[in-house]
Amino acid sequence: MACNYDAEALLNDGSCVAPASGYDCDGNCIADADADGVCDMEEVGGCTDMGANNFDPSATDNNGTCTYDLDGCMDADACNFNYQATAEDGSCDYACYGCMNQNACNFNAEATMHDYTACSYLFAYEINGDVEVDLNQEVSYEYTWTAGSEYNWTVEGGLIVQGQGSSQVVVVWLLDEGLLTVQEVNGDGCEGDVVSLIVSGTASDISEETVGFTAFPNPANDVVVVNANGFEAHAFQVLDAAGRVVISERLVAGRNTIHVAHLANGTYRMVLMNQEDGRTVKQLVIAH
């Protein structure tokens, strides 16, 4: 018996068997699970991609550890965060953020990431002021004030003589029935509900004829000549039957020509106002 006799290598009939080393008796690898020509016992794990940052020339088996330079957004809070990026390229996008609260006035149906700090809310309040008024007298109205908001007032059957844009206005009512509305627009541009107040007016004992003017022809077709007497300047407005202002002018003392060709046939009210001395209301008929 040979001194280097290997009981695992030979059977009694002299045939060779695979030893624990992974090679047969002739030195050929018989344990190559991935069939890459490298015996399992000699495999070296690592990155085998020559284009990777951590290419390992000694590695024979790619173990998935390769890393690469990849530009992209590395901010995990961004909409386009790229977890594979290794270099920030300034492409981070946050457009997916918005207010996703449907109770907010700036609810964003297209947002996919909620930003609660972006939500803005507007609440409807009541207009405070008299609903039974004397015609041709100044009446104050107030709406709840919010810092940074603007207030768009409209009036039918009267004139806003002070405060447009603020939370307080002064109205002169000219018709028996009137309507005052306000819409709040906050600093974020959100528009609130339109809030309205119905007003009924009665004639006061104070005469309207405190500022004199004449207007002719009446009925008129294309122009009206207005003569304002005794003052340097007057605020002059023409209102339709609903109280909407259709003409607004600043008159000088004496003769003024007002173009009315664009007005539809009907009855209007002309109002001449002077801050110190009052106002005059006259009827104007348009007949083309």
Joined together, the tokens standing for residue 225 give 């000549």
Q: Is 136 left (phi over 0), alpha (psi -120 to 50) or beta?
A: left
pLDDT digits (tens, 9 = 90+) for 168-205: 999 888 788 889 999 999 988 889 899 999 999 887 65
Residue 253, amino acid? A
User: Which alpha helices (DSSP H) does the chain contain, by range?
Assistant: none
The Cα-based distances of 141 to 117, 135, 162, 201, 243 in angstroms read: 33, 15, 10, 15, 18
Beta bridge partner(s), residue 141: 169
Instruction: Give the tens place of pLDDT for each residue, 42-78.
Output: 788 899 898 888 899 988 888 888 888 889 999 999 9
Is residue 223 within 8 A of residue 258, CB to CB? The reply is yes
pLDDT of residue 4: 38
Question: What's the confidence (pLDDT) of residue 81?
Answer: 95
- Check the CA dihedral 254-210-166-237 and report its sign: negative
Rounded to an integer, what distance in angstroms lies between the CA atom of residue 260 and that of residue 163?
28
Cα 172 from Cα 253, distance rounded (Å): 23
Q: How far apart are CA 96 and CA 138, in angstroms?
A: 50
Residue of 81, 116, 121 whose CA lies nearest to 98: 116
Q: Is the pLDDT of residue 232 over 70?
A: no
Q: What is the CATH number of domain 213-286?
A: 2.60.40.3080
**Positive or negative CA dihedral for 83, 85, 87, 88?**
negative
What integer best gives the mean pLDDT of the chain?
Answer: 83
Domain topology for 132-202: Immunoglobulin-like (2.60.40)
The mean pLDDT of 248-259, rounded to a whole number, is 88
Cα 275 to Cα 211: distance, rounded to the nearest angstrom? 10
pLDDT average, residue stretch 143-152: 94
pLDDT tens-digit profile of 103-128? 888 899 999 999 988 898 888 999 99
pLDDT category of residue 277 using cuts at 50, 70 and 90: low
pLDDT recorded at residue 126: 96
pTM value is 0.47
For the chain, the structural domain boundaries read 132-202, 213-286
> If phi over 0 gives left and psi between -120 and 50 gives alpha, with beta otherwise, what is residue 275?
alpha
Answer for the pair 286, 264: CB distance below 8 angstroms, yes or no.
yes
